[in-house]
Amino acid sequence: MLGSRYPYGQVTAAELRQALDTVLTNPSYRQRARQMGDTLKAAGGYLQAVAEIETLLGDKAQIHDHVLA
């Protein structure tokens, strides 16, 4: 897991502050983010990720053209 999960709309300001502090100060989160970035690059980068997402969504969303415009 890369981050923390909380039910939508049910997190307090104090819980959010604590979660952010944990993510920003715990080196394992940085290491995991770096690993995920390396994996994404090896799989073709963000443009390939966008293409894959668009394929999964079909004609419901054409994000790619709007991102690059």
> What is d(CA 60, CA 66) in angstroms, rounded to the nearest whole number?
14
Residue 7 is given by DSSP the state -
Tell whether the model's pLDDT for residue 41 goes beyond 90.
yes
Q: Pick the residue with more confidence: 60 or 51?
A: 51
- Please state the pTM of the whole predicted model: 0.56
pLDDT tens sequence across 55-69: 888 866 555 555 555
List all residues 6 or more positions away from 51 whose beta carbon is below 8 Å from its beta carbon.
64
Averaged confidence pLDDT in the chain: 83
User: How far is the CA of 22 from the CAs of 4, 30, 41, 53, in angstroms?
Assistant: 9, 11, 26, 30
Could you give the CA distance from residue 68 to residue 16 in angstroms, rounded to a whole number?
A: 32
